[in-house]
A and B are shown apart, each in its own frame.
Chain A
Amino acid sequence: MSHPLVLEGITRRFGAFTAVDGVSLEVRAGEIVGFLGSNGAGKTTALRCACGLIEPDAGSVRIAGCDLAGDPIGARRHMGFVPDRPFLYERLTSRECLAFIAALYAVPPQIAEARVHRLALRLQLREALDQPIETHSFGTRQKVALIAALVHAPALLMLDEPLGGLDPHSARALRDTLREHADTGAGVLVSTHLLDVAERLCDRIVMLRHGRVIASGTLAELRGNRADATLEELFLELTRTPEELA
């Protein structure tokens, strides 16, 4: 069976600057992969390449067995994406926006409505469903964006810094939702700066520095023979600059 996501040698340049340099990774069914890196490490660019918002200069993206370049429609059908700044129609209510997005994915109306209600209940969003999105706080928009990404129950869910702006209750609800989604056999790739969250939530960690993967594996694999090391300690050690090392 195909993995929800396979990236092979993804490279993306902006002029002379290489933002992502030959990134390869895979997200297997049922696992949550944490995508870690310092500011400017290339996480957002890599995620945008993986979801098709920008085209990579080299490399390939396969989503649930579909090549994103060769069969973009097939690949997109299996993918949900939550950007760092949600893409929503400000003048629509959350419900209207979600109804439109559900129609884009050809989700039958009854199923879409039931999913929206279940997720809204879990994320404490029911009150806001009939309010215009322009009146929502950033955190509430993030929740709407999460429901939009899950409305078609994708085989792969990618999230770019999803926990920014969420209160502790909502952050917990989000973590539970991601785990529940992974337990259905889907893959989840989540980029975050919150190392404690990554430590508790993710099955595997991929670390990025200067657009390159510098470490990948389970927390136990990354620790190696340092069983007591926290993810924060490992991250700081691995992402240290040459100046700091000197």
Chain B
Amino acid sequence: MNAPGVLRARLTMIRAEFFTRRDGSWQARKGLLAVALALGLTGLLTYALTRGFATLADSGISVTEAGRVLATAFGATALGTLLLDLHATMATLLLAPDLQLLRRAPIRTRTVLGLKLLDALPVSSTMLVALALPATIAFALAYSNTVHAALVPLVLAALWGMPLGFGVAVASALVRLAPAARVREVIGLLTTLTVALLWLANTFLLPRLADDEPAFQDSLRAAIAHLPSPHATSPAAWAVDALIAPWPRALASLALLLVAAAGSLALAAGLGARALRATGAPIGASLAGPKRSSIPFTASLAAAFLRRDLALYLRDWTVMSDILVGALLWTLLPLAFVPLVAMEPRLLALTMLIALNVGLGHEVAARALPFERDALAWARLAPIKAKRWVLARLPGVLVIVLPLHLSAWVAITVTLHLPPNIAAEVLLWATAALATATAVGLWTGAAFGDPAWAHPRAMLHWNGRLVAVALLLIQAAAWLALWPLLDGFPVGWGACGAIVVAGISCSLAVHGASRLLARRWSPPR
């Protein structure tokens, strides 16, 4: 293999991600902004962790006890890296567009594997750079002279290599059982569920652990006591031991860690190469096609749209599950602030429903148009006005969001013992928020949809995702700001005002989405 040539080509590809040559000069691409954002977030995390470990040290928490926190950060890094590696492996190792080209090249399968792992490096090292490294730096700053600095690179390399190897091995084994595209979707969903579980644990468990004890120092100790012991048999514990234990034990733990990482990488090399050899042509063909009940031919356009949307959503269960997890999280979000801000039941109910509905616009409506992928081209080919196409998507969206909206309203009304008039008022406000969020979501999908999406959570281009989150926050803030403004009016008038506001914003957003679909959207070549 011409190693320098391959390396040059890889570097050119990396450069093309961040810079483009136009009219003889280099111009920055959007990818550079993503790196800047990631670095900014890493900086923020480093700062927060530094403050956190400094607080632990100032509170008299011992090195061993703080080591448990570091071990938790290492454990989260390993778990996150494993999931990201599983996903990255499927995306770059087994489904990459250049895979066939590389397989035809006169190079060994293990070399192809190495090249593809190199491609997966940015994703597979994300957690290491974003969490393990800042945590180690923060720990070393707070507990100076207790960390074996010389061993840090080896520990971090092992923490990266072990889940990488394991992730590649598991992914390689999974594609023998199911088509790679399906496995990748399932892993994508697992990633979402893990994030959801971590979020729930963080939101509900940790504040309550801290709340149980009156004194801050005791509550910290109580919280840390619930964390796994660094002496437990786990790679995270070995990593912490290698950094802070006395030298003989530190070296023994490091040896364990390195052996585990080397074994895991060797397993990956064997299984990954086999998977690469096996997944030449059959990736697409291995999707065995079960016969499905057919949607009948119909003269009604609305029925055709609804039947198509239902079939697409029901058959893409990874997207559906992702939506349901999202709905749960958005509803629970306001509860995260309950220990901090005392809320009256009426305001809490409204906040929860607005969070849910604004979130549903983001989760469901924003995906409605990109969910059609290239087939959205029919909106430009068929004799249907763009506005009609956008509006025809509404029933398909409402079939999903309305049951979630209504069941959340019933559950919240019952749980918070809301009187009927208040419950009705809250419902009207929340419905107005839902209508606006749906229309804004459709606009977001028309403006930033990515027809080539590979992950259910990434149906919008990355800049679109940023805009979508900003719009989500703006909507939630606007509704919560409008509530006290209209609350002074006689009963019912405030909710009517909310409906009027929703009507105006809906028509503007639908008009905008239609214009984008009619004029700007075109299928990728």
Say yes or no: A53 contacts B522, CB within 8 Å.
yes
User: Would you call A58 an interface residue if the criterion is a C-beta within 8 Å of the partner chain's C-beta atoms?
Assistant: no
Q: Would you give the shortest CB distance from B179 to chain A, in whole angstroms?
A: 9
Complex: A81 Cα to B292 Cα, angstroms: 27
Instruction: Indicate which residue in B288, B304, B381 contacts A99 across the interface (CB closer than 8 Å).
Output: B304
User: Would you call A112 an interface residue if the criterion is a C-beta within 8 Å of the partner chain's C-beta atoms?
Assistant: yes
- Minimal Cβ-Cβ distance residue in A for B312: A91
| Residue of B295, B296, B376, B385 ringed by the most chain A CB atoms within 10 A | B295
Q: Given A76-B381, A104-B383, is A48 in contact with B304 using a C-beta cutoff of 8 Å? A: no
Say yes or no: B289 contacts A87, CB within 8 Å.
no
* Residues from chain A with Cβ under 8 Å of B381 in the complex: 51-53, 76, 79, 81, 87
User: Would you call B212 an interface residue if the criterion is a C-beta within 8 Å of the partner chain's C-beta atoms?
Assistant: no
Q: Given A87-B378, A104-B378, is A53 in contact with B523 using a C-beta cutoff of 8 Å? A: yes
User: Would you call B98 an interface residue if the criterion is a C-beta within 8 Å of the partner chain's C-beta atoms?
Assistant: no
Q: Which of A46-91 contact B (CB under 8 A)?
A: 48, 51-55, 73-74, 76-77, 79, 81, 83, 85, 87-91
Q: Contact mask B259-301 → A, CB, 8 Å, 1/0?
A: 0000000000000000000000000110111111011111111
Say yes or no: B297 contacts A109, CB within 8 Å.
yes
User: Would you call A93 an interface residue if the criterion is a C-beta within 8 Å of the partner chain's C-beta atoms?
Assistant: yes
Complex: A52 Cα to B517 Cα, angstroms: 12
Q: Would you give the shortest CB distance from B48 to chain A, in whole angstroms?
A: 42
User: Would you call A185 an interface residue if the criterion is a C-beta within 8 Å of the partner chain's C-beta atoms?
Assistant: no
Number of interface residues of B (CB under 8 A): 44
Complex: A131 Cα to B288 Cα, angstroms: 9
* Residues from chain B with Cβ under 8 Å of A134 in the complex: 287, 289
* Residues from chain A with Cβ under 8 Å of B103 in the complex: none
- Tell which of B215-223, B245-253, B367-375, B462-470 binds the partner: B367-375
Say yes or no: B384 contacts A104, CB within 8 Å.
yes
Q: Which of B498-525 contact A (CB under 8 A)?
A: 519, 522-523, 525
Complex: A149 Cα to B338 Cα, angstroms: 57
Q: Which of A131-149 contact B (CB under 8 A)?
A: 131-132, 134-135, 137
* Residues from chain A with Cβ under 8 Å of B523 in the complex: 53, 83, 87
User: Would you call B178 an interface residue if the criterion is a C-beta within 8 Å of the partner chain's C-beta atoms?
Assistant: no
Q: Would you give the shortest CB distance from B372 to chain A, in whole angstroms?
A: 7
User: Would you call A113 an interface residue if the criterion is a C-beta within 8 Å of the partner chain's C-beta atoms?
Assistant: yes
Say yes or no: B294 contacts A93, CB within 8 Å.
yes
Q: Given A87-B377, A100-B304, A134-B287, is A54 in contact with B315 using a C-beta cutoff of 8 Å? A: no
- Minimal Cβ-Cβ distance residue in B for A129: B294
Q: Which of A87-122 contact B (CB under 8 A)?
A: 87-93, 95-96, 99-106, 108-110, 112-113
User: Would you call A11 an interface residue if the criterion is a C-beta within 8 Å of the partner chain's C-beta atoms?
Assistant: no
* Residues from chain A with Cβ under 8 Å of B382 in the complex: 76, 101, 104-105
- Minimal Cβ-Cβ distance residue in B for A86: B374
Say yes or no: B297 contacts A102, CB within 8 Å.
yes
* Residues from chain A with Cβ under 8 Å of B51 in the complex: none
Q: Would you give the shortest CB distance from B392 to chain A, in whole angstroms?
A: 10
Q: Given A105-B382, A109-B296, is A135 in contact with B316 using a C-beta cutoff of 8 Å? A: no
Say yes or no: A135 contacts B294, CB within 8 Å.
no
* Residues from chain A with Cβ under 8 Å of B519 in the complex: 55
* Residues from chain B with Cβ under 8 Å of A48 in the complex: 522
User: Would you call B176 an interface residue if the criterion is a C-beta within 8 Å of the partner chain's C-beta atoms?
Assistant: no
Q: Which of B299-347 contact A (CB under 8 A)?
A: 299-301, 303-305, 307-308, 311-312, 315-316
Say yes or no: B385 contacts A100, CB within 8 Å.
no
* Residues from chain B with Cβ under 8 Å of A87 in the complex: 374-378, 381, 523
Instruction: Indicate which residue in B289, B291, B292, B299 contacts A109 across the interface (CB closer than 8 Å).
Output: B299
Q: Given A130-B292, A132-B289, is A89 in contact with B383 using a C-beta cutoff of 8 Å? A: no
User: Would you call A44 an interface residue if the criterion is a C-beta within 8 Å of the partner chain's C-beta atoms?
Assistant: yes
Say yes or no: B289 contacts A108, CB within 8 Å.
no
User: Would you call B380 an interface residue if the criterion is a C-beta within 8 Å of the partner chain's C-beta atoms?
Assistant: yes
Q: Given A53-B377, A89-B312, A103-B304, is A135 in contact with B288 using a C-beta cutoff of 8 Å? A: yes
* Residues from chain A with Cβ under 8 Å of B294 in the complex: 93, 95-96, 99, 130
* Residues from chain B with Cβ under 8 Å of A99 in the complex: 294-298, 304
* Interchain Cβ contacts under 8 Å between A and B, 27 examples: A16-B23, A52-B380, A54-B522, A55-B519, A73-B383, A76-B383, A85-B374, A87-B374, A87-B377, A92-B311, A93-B292, A95-B295, A99-B298, A100-B295, A100-B304, A100-B307, A103-B297, A103-B301, A104-B301, A104-B378, A104-B382, A104-B384, A106-B301, A131-B292, A132-B290, A132-B292, A137-B285
Given A96-B295, A112-B297, 14 extra CB contacts under 8 A: A53-B523, A87-B377, A88-B374, A89-B312, A92-B308, A92-B311, A95-B295, A96-B294, A102-B297, A105-B382, A106-B383, A109-B296, A109-B297, A131-B291
Closest 10 CB pairs of A and B: A135-B289, A103-B304, A109-B297, A104-B382, A131-B289, A87-B377, A77-B383, A76-B383, A96-B295, A91-B315
